[in-house]
């Protein structure tokens, strides 16, 4: 007859087995935690607590805004050190390319979806898709965004660009590509990255139809496409949905609290530089520079980004014939596939 293990022996086996399981779980989590998430630190979010808020939010002077416009004009929006990292079929006869670009040693990643059955001799329109912002999840996840999947499926005759922004991971086909940089550069900096990816695509594909360049963004992505339209007059249509348009006021600072501090107040810089970053993230202040057409969509019950962001921008837009404003019933998450496809296809 086999001997029955003593209780102490069974306990030792249980402890050893439990320890092995814990090691496996820790190892799995370590290797599957987003690299970009590990880079985020909130230790400095209160480093500017003594900042003079009256001075910070004082009315900007015309020369201050003109200085920002000049900065944008001379700031490089081209993608340097371009390298094709990976190419595979996103769907049948539709390649997707993962590109890495500079500047210098910084790595920024973006995806370029080619049209289905791509032919170098044909002309194709271009669509930039700009992702929203999740402070707890620094990723642009093409695998999980079902709305984007539907758009991509119905726009098989388009080049589709999907930038990841500094400090964010581009997630495609289960793999993460982590872009360098500060995750808090989520508006003006993210616009740099979006414009660089457009430049990259146009430099490699001369058959992009430059008369039909469209940028579509939701939430933070809406802010980015508005800023991109202000800086790039070649963008024919901007579709901005549920996006913040004005960070340069106390109400927005209070509403977004901790996140606002991380984005704008977590780095020790002169007050003028902090002001400039907030101004550069507020398309409302520069909307008169946008040359293309705008579709502005916002939910009347949006509790994340209040309706006034869209209302104020619509009111300030210089040419009513180039902007359509759609107030929708609902909150922050508005997904209207049919009208969006109609606008994109023109």
Work out whether strand 293-299 and strand 323-328 pair parallel, antiparallel, or are unpaired.
parallel
Q: pTM for the complete prediction?
A: 0.89
- pLDDT value for 27: 47
Domains of the chain: 33-345 (3.40.50.1820)
Res 25: pLDDT = 47
For residue 10, the model assigns a pLDDT of: 66
Q: Give Cβ neighbours of residue 177 (< 8 Å, ≥ 6 apart).
A: 85, 98, 100, 109, 164, 169, 170, 171
* Residue with token string 């808020």: 53
Burial (Cβ within 10 Å: 0-12, 13-18, ≥19) of residue 55? exposed
Burial label, 346 (beta-carbon count in 10 A; 0-12, 13-18, 19+)? exposed
**CB count, 10 Å around CB of 337?**
11
Q: Are 74 and 81 in contact (CB under 8 A)?
A: no
Instruction: Work out the number of other CB atoms within 10 angstroms of the CB of residue 234.
Output: 12
Q: Which two tokens stand for residue 167?
A: 């400090």
Q: How many residues does the chain have?
A: 346
- Written as one string, the DSSP assignment of 278-291 is HHHT-GGGGGGG--
pLDDT tens, residue order, the chain (346 aa): 455 555 676 666 766 776 666 655 444 444 446 788 888 888 888 888 889 999 999 999 999 999 999 999 988 777 778 899 999 999 999 999 999 987 666 789 999 999 999 999 999 999 999 999 988 889 999 999 999 999 999 999 999 999 999 999 999 999 999 999 999 999 999 999 999 999 999 999 999 999 999 999 999 999 999 999 999 999 999 999 999 999 999 999 999 999 999 999 999 899 999 999 999 999 999 999 999 999 999 999 999 999 999 999 999 999 999 999 999 999 998 888 999 999 999 8
pLDDT digits (tens, 9 = 90+) for 286-335: 999 999 999 999 999 999 999 999 999 999 999 999 999 999 999 998 88
User: How does pLDDT run across 14-38, given as a tens digit for each residue?
Assistant: 667 766 666 554 444 444 467 888 8
């Amino acid at each position: 007859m086999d001997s029955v293990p003593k209780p102490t022996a069974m306990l030792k086996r249980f402890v050893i087995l439990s320890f092995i399981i814990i090691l496996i779980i820790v190892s799995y989590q370590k290797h599957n935690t987003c690299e970009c998430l590990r880079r985020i630190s909130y230790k400095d979010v209160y480093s500017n607590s003594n900042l003079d808020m009256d001075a910070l939010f004082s009315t900007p002077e015309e020369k201050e805004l003109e200085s920002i416009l000049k900065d944008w004009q001379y700031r490089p929006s081209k993608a340097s050190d371009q390298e094709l990292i990976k190419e595979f079929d996103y769907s049948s006869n539709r390649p997707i390319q993962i590109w890495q670009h500079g500047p210098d040693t910084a790595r920024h990643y973006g995806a370029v979806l080619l049209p289905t059955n791509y032919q170098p001799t044909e002309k194709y329109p271009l669509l930039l898709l700009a992702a929203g912002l999740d402070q707890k999840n620094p990723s642009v996840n093409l695998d999980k965004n079902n709305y984007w999947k539907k758009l991509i499926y119905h726009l098989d005759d388009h080049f589709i660009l999907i930038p990841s922004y500094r400090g964010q991971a581009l997630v495609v086909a289960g793999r993460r590509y982590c872009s360098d940089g500060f995750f808090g550069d989520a508006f003006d900096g993210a616009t740099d990255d979006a414009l660089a990816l457009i430049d990259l695509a146009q430099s490699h594909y001369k058959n992009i139809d430059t008369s039909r360049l469209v940028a579509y963004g939701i939430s933070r992505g809406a802010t980015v496409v508005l800023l991109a339209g202000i800086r790039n007059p070649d963008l024919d249509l901007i579709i901005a949905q549920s996006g913040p348009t004005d960070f340069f006021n106390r109400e927005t600072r209070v509403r977004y609290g901790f996140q606002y501090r991380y984005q704008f107040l977590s780095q020790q810089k002169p007050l003028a530089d902090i002001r400039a970053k907030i101004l550069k993230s507020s398309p409302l202040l520069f909307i008169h520079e946008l040359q293309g057409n705008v579709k502005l969509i916002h939910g009347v019950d949006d509790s994340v980004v209040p309706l006034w962001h869209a209302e104020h921008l619509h009111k300030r837009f210089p040419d009513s014939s180039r902007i359509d404003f759609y107030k929708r019933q609902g909150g922050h998450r508005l997904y209207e596939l049919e009208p969006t496809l109609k606008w994109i296809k023109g």
